[in-house]
Structure 1
């Protein structure tokens, strides 16, 4: 991880406090600071220390939930100029992504999905045979076809969040690390600031962008945010002479890194730890479980005892779970690592000569409908939530930060935010995933 130089003095008052120094929180802080608002960005650990630096590094619009497509189109536009905007390297490359299909039925679904890009004028097409081979040289892929979107790309997660946070500092935001926000400060029924481990800060607005920790924080404020954690396992390799275009298949997924190696993960395998919230939210998540059961591997692990032992309500003067665990650093799944590495070696023999340099796990913050909350909270005026990106947050974060800043400031929203409203979980709306097929 690059070295980040945090601010050291806690301000007494700001316009907006942003909780969480991941890519969504940093993007929100940058947008607000560039618009002239005073901002405090609080991170309990290190900037980008959790899922924002542990994801695949894909910047993709292909195969997204159709409700996310307009926001992702804006985010891709922002990624194009992000290096110039921040004055920092991001590793962004528009290299394209291929989603492979081993069956004609799934290929037909991918073909139907393409219609969601037509209003945005973004090219996406179905490839077969030699067309796939040209993009995937050296591969022994047994595919019926693939969806290819040339505008998709990649960036370096460990660079991007730092670049955005440093740009927010330069624009006037105060960015502090090792600073946990314990609770909201409420006066006369609305947000008056926050209580941190180092004292109170007055603010008219607060944005919760706490990733996998957001449900715990919101619960202490009396809000029921339906969110569970999903463990994704990732590895990186030594340099390999391989494709520039990223690839997803059922057995593995990869993308080239700026160092010449590859980031590799399972194309269809994630781990779900059974914890107390699994039962509290079981019925809410049941449709998602039924739809994705083949890709979810449930287990009983030490996470049960950890989360069962966490206080769910606390006072502002009490130490919290956010201080007890500064960085959520789960171990990767050895079974998934072995499976995806073997599948990659069979499909691309060049990788058999490579070494695994590092492997890691990251906790994805998932919602029942697999799209985020980017919303004001009606129950607590002045409070806002930007979380639940369900494994798709890295690429969409610049757009999400812009939309969140629009909502906080009352500016015309960059896209219609209604699909991302927090109230959808309580207003009788049907909560559903939407593959767009």
Structure 2
């Protein structure tokens, strides 16, 4: 069972109309709604389950520029700026703390990748990032009690962490007070058009007239868009993590060693993950999209593990097209809640304790997993849809969505309203997967 998320009461009256309907109540959907409402638009969020019920509450909670893909580096810089002022501006507590993020290694190839990234990032962002090279002595100070002597790495003091189970519901509560309607559980079955553009969305409770719809459905976005005849490449990987009970004497800086990763939680425990290890449930879409993901597969050799099981059969039985006047899979499956891969996540804990023997008595409080929505080039889609004016897509964040969520939402709001964009959105356009653009993978984490 997934982590417990702070509850949010739903609005009970579905409005007949809005300027924009946002489909999905995760960090991307809620952030988009926040910045659209700041522009004076009437916004409705529809979430089929509960706010932050899927990956937005199941991630590591890191907010970073460290080792971001160069194509999303400037978006990450802007997002970190927004995180720093979010609590003060909204009068909320997301748990955000500038605790620093450290990436270390003893492997020559990994150290070389860190060096290359640091050089490129400084060229792109200049003084906007404060990442620096660190060596054994300083690493020891940043990882007090660690028995592993790492040769080198990169450290970004201004990177931080927030509490995923707290952050998105806190933002959503503020939006409700500002007049944004939040409907849960309220599955959107599809989109209606008039004159060749979006005119309404159809929910399980009726129709909401609107001039724009933003699809921020995370793992569900490809399936939803398929009913509209929109081809959007997206596959899912399953990442497992655990949290511990509170423990004293541990490190406070978020760290990735390549073999395991951790962050200190606001409750005094740790969120721990087994390095870069992820699992992919083989599905019908995995075979349909195989050739688009060849480069991604090459880059993940050794870190990505495949399995076939119930998910394959579930997706095989799903209709590829459906009518909007009858129940859909969105009502049948309110929340994706995959089982964690216990041996892998426990291996991360084992390595954590081996590195920090003073924490040997730490206890596991909970294990969980979540599905990350991954594009062929591992960077998101934040885009309008050329074939259907009024439709916008924010998805495919490939495990990066929580950290860059506020800036992604602000950029999406700019695109919807045709305002000057927060950053150049060219790299995030949906059309890159159909206009002959070469798919490029930049190895990161």
The 1-side partners of 2:259 and 2:193 are apart by: 49
Shift of 1:436: 7.9
2:219 to 212, 217, 239: 212
> Is residue 431 of structure 2 the alignment partner of residue 432 of structure 1?
no
> Is residue 12 of structure 2 the alignment partner of residue 5 of structure 1?
no
What does residue 227 of structure 1 align with?
Answer: 234
Residues matched between the structures, number: 437
What does residue 407 of structure 2 align with?
Answer: 399
Shift of 1:249: 1.3
The 1-side partners of 2:300 and 2:269 are apart by: 30
The 1-side partners of 2:99 and 2:78 are apart by: 18
> Is residue 205 of structure 2 the alignment partner of residue 198 of structure 1?
yes
> Is residue 83 of structure 2 the alignment partner of residue 79 of structure 1?
yes
What does residue 267 of structure 1 align with?
Answer: 275
CA displacement, residues 91-113 of structure 1 (integer Å, 9 cap, x when unaligned): 10101111111213321221121
The 2-side partners of 1:177 and 1:22 are apart by: 12
What does residue 348 of structure 1 align with?
Answer: 356
CA RMSD in angstroms, aligned pairs only: 1.2
1:95 to 94, 99, 105: 99
The 1-side partners of 2:184 and 2:358 are apart by: 41
Verify the 8 A CA contact 2:136 2:149 in the aligned structure 1. no
Verify the 8 A CA contact 1:73 1:120 in the aligned structure 2. no
What does residue 264 of structure 2 align with?
Answer: 256
The 2-side partners of 1:71 and 1:101 are apart by: 26
5+ long unaligned stretches in structure 2: none
TM-score, normalised to structure 2, is: 0.96
Verify the 8 A CA contact 1:32 1:405 in the aligned structure 2. yes
Verify the 8 A CA contact 1:251 1:339 in the aligned structure 2. no
> Is residue 321 of structure 2 the alignment partner of residue 317 of structure 1?
no
The 2-side partners of 1:435 and 1:232 are apart by: 17
Give secondary structure in 2 for the equivalent of 1:353. Answer: coil
Q: Where does 1:317-396 land on structure 2 (aligned, <5 Å)? A: 317-396=325-404
> Is residue 69 of structure 2 the alignment partner of residue 65 of structure 1?
yes
> Is residue 243 of structure 2 the alignment partner of residue 239 of structure 1?
no
Verify the 8 A CA contact 1:48 1:158 in the aligned structure 2. yes
The 2-side partners of 1:272 and 1:109 are apart by: 25
What does residue 34 of structure 2 align with?
Answer: 30
Give secondary structure in 2 for the equivalent of 1:5. Answer: coil
The 2-side partners of 1:84 and 1:359 are apart by: 32
The 1-side partners of 2:333 and 2:399 are apart by: 21
Verify the 8 A CA contact 1:228 1:367 in the aligned structure 2. yes
The 2-side partners of 1:414 and 1:337 are apart by: 37
TM-score, normalised to structure 1, is: 0.98
The 1-side partners of 2:244 and 2:94 are apart by: 20
1:185 to 183, 188, 192: 192
Shift of 1:276: 0.6
The ranges of structure 1 where at least 4 consecutive aligned residues each deviate by more than 4 angstroms after the TM superposition are none
The 2-side partners of 1:126 and 1:417 are apart by: 30
The 2-side partners of 1:69 and 1:115 are apart by: 13
Verify the 8 A CA contact 2:140 2:149 in the aligned structure 1. no
CA displacement, residues 135-159 of structure 1 (integer Å, 9 cap, x when unaligned): 0001012422111111111000011
Cα distance 1:270–1:435, how it changes in 2: closer, same or farther (>3 A)? closer
CA displacement, residues 235-263 of structure 1 (integer Å, 9 cap, x when unaligned): 00011221110110122100000000000
